[in-house]
Structure 1
Amino acid sequence: MGPQAHLLPGGTRLHLQHGPIDLIIGAEGDRKIAFAAAQARFATVLEELVRELPALRQPLSTESPPPNGAIACQMHLATYPYAAESFVTPMAAVAGAVADHVLHAICAATPLTRAYVNNGGDIALHLTKGQHFTSAMSGHDGSDLGRITITQDTPIRGIATSGRHGRSLSLGIADSVTVLARTAAEADVAATMIANAVDLPNHPAITRAPASSLDDNSDLGDLPVVTHCSALPATDRRLALEQGRKRADDLIQKGRILGAALFLQGDSQSCTAPLASLSLRTAEHA
């Protein structure tokens, strides 16, 4: 089936779906024009990505040539800073890059006071003066993990979440890591990297398997991904979260992200950049 589109109850949000891509779009302004622009841009997204999919699934290096498509190019740019540091493929930014590009299309079509494109939890934002966006953070079991409120005067325009309970396989044991950045693509790859860092190598409570044994199409190849993590004692949970927090702090220092919230078996840690004027409250501090 080709791209599917329908308005959600109330008529203020648009649902777009094609293959594995599933978007929820909200816009305040001329929604008719905005939603038409979203549908027009979305119509070619999957085809555009599939044309370069084999290359986008390859490990990125500092010598990797840029791709051709607009979305693929943003994926490359978002992941390139990590190429010399760790294993990464452009696919680490695919969900965020799609959200960014669809948002750009609707904002270019008509003036909007506020808009968002939510691609399975990776969110691209448009905020004008006086506007804000509040997002709930939820656990894989539906538990309330806290709230993020982003105002127009902060540079944050992207939110992404990763972890071993998400849509993708993870090298780490984080239940979830939510990252705030200037774009959704940048938040997407950073969330993956921080979630990978929340780990306890060789711990007996953690089971791993080659990614290829779980998903023939995984861009992680034979890298060992987490398949199970039993209940951990508090000291081990803190140690694992501290590893992730160090990675998040490093990315803040490098200017790649503006904040992060990390969760593991009921414990959490968070950090924000000094210039990130926002409210980030985990449930235990709410």
Structure 2
Amino acid sequence: MTGPAVSWLPDGRRLHLNHGPIDLIVEAFGPEAERRTAYRQAVARFRAVLDELVAELAALRSPAATTPRAFLSSTARRMEQAVFPHAPLFVTPMAAVAGSVADEVLGSLVAGRSLERAYVNNGGDIALHLAPGQAFHAAIAGIGHGFADRLTIRADDAVRGIATSGWRGRSHSLGIADAVTVLARSAAAADAAATLIANAVDLPGHPAIARVAACALDPDSDLGDRLVTREVGILSPDDIRAALESGLATAESMRRRGLIEGAALFLGGKSRLCGGSLLRQEVTTAIPPLPPATPSCKGFAHA
């Protein structure tokens, strides 16, 4: 693994930060001098994040309890704060790592700066900054076949984080959701919730679902010998409905507890929405069936 890499994307506006599994796109809007200083702050913080997490990795891979544990790094503390409200359900802080890194770098980006808007996109898990009167437009593109509904997040909305999870994504999933996109007050909270809601979109024991122990795919996985989804075959309409309703029940429970603002769940060309007028106004409820082996994709746009 090489060290931290910092570069500008070809448009000259967006900063690309990469270090091992961390891959960030950073953009800030506002006066040029403020933007440049903000970018320097973000880079300075980014350079240390991965090494800090590696130093506490063993504990970060262990399940959360109902009382948060003490961690040395602020990113690790964000991870723990995002997952412990879900205990005693099995979840480790690693469920919130991408969102927490996005939150951490965004926090450094905007500290002491006068910016209109900013975002940090960590592989589709996105932390947002909005000054009063500002807004972002985001595209939910979680299932790879042209579905890309947009929603507007305004400064007076509670949402400051977006995350997507599912069995087709870059992380292992215990469930069968094609995608679950969550809106929450932070990217860390959205990341943890998306993971758990996607796990809950499931049909335990169904013969059309192929699973394998997570440790067989990755000996260091925080999921250990828990079975993760490797393939989803043909499901009946009733199967799809039952799996989505299971995930929706989990999402609604989180929303009632104030852990998320809303969620959109997708499986087999069908969807369910949880709370949030943002989602209800702009996400369609019918999408085409998935072709075999469609890759996961998460999108973000601004205007």
Match of 2:216 among 202, 213, 218: 213
Corresponding residue of 2:41 = 37
Q: Distance in 2 between matches of 1:208 and 1:3?
A: 35
User: Which amino acid counterpart does residue 207 of structure 1 have in structure 2?
Assistant: A
TM-score, with length taken from structure 2 = 0.89
Match of 2:69 among 50, 65, 69: 65
Percent same amino acid among aligned pairs? 54
SS of match in other structure, 2:111: helix
Give the total of aligned pairs. 283
SS of match in other structure, 1:249: helix
* Contact 2:67–2:84 (8 Å) recurs in 1: no
Q: Distance in 2 between matches of 1:113 and 1:278?
A: 24
Cα RMSD (Å) of the superposition? Answer: 1.6
Alignment pair present for 1:229 and 2:232: yes
* Contact 2:149–2:282 (8 Å) recurs in 1: yes
* Contact 2:142–2:180 (8 Å) recurs in 1: no
Corresponding residue of 1:7 = 8
Corresponding residue of 2:27 = 26
Q: Distance in 1 between matches of 2:146 and 2:165?
A: 16
* Contact 1:149–1:279 (8 Å) recurs in 2: no
Q: Distance in 2 between matches of 1:103 and 1:90?
A: 19
* Contact 2:151–2:278 (8 Å) recurs in 1: no
Match of 2:177 among 146, 158, 174: 174
Corresponding residue of 1:101 = 104
Match of 1:161 among 139, 160, 164: 164
SS of match in other structure, 1:27: strand
Alignment pair present for 1:259 and 2:228: no
* Contact 1:37–1:109 (8 Å) recurs in 2: no
TM-score, with length taken from structure 1 = 0.94
For structure 2, which runs of at least 5 residues remain unmatched after alignment?
288-303
Q: Distance in 2 between matches of 1:224 and 1:20?
A: 23
User: Which amino acid counterpart does residue 188 of structure 2 have in structure 1?
Assistant: A
1:140 shift after superposition: 4.0
Shift in alpha-carbon separation, 1:139–1:160, aligned structure 2, 3 A: closer
SS of match in other structure, 1:251: helix
Runs of 4+ in 1 over 6 A off after TM superposition: none
Shift in alpha-carbon separation, 1:285–1:174, aligned structure 2, 3 A: closer
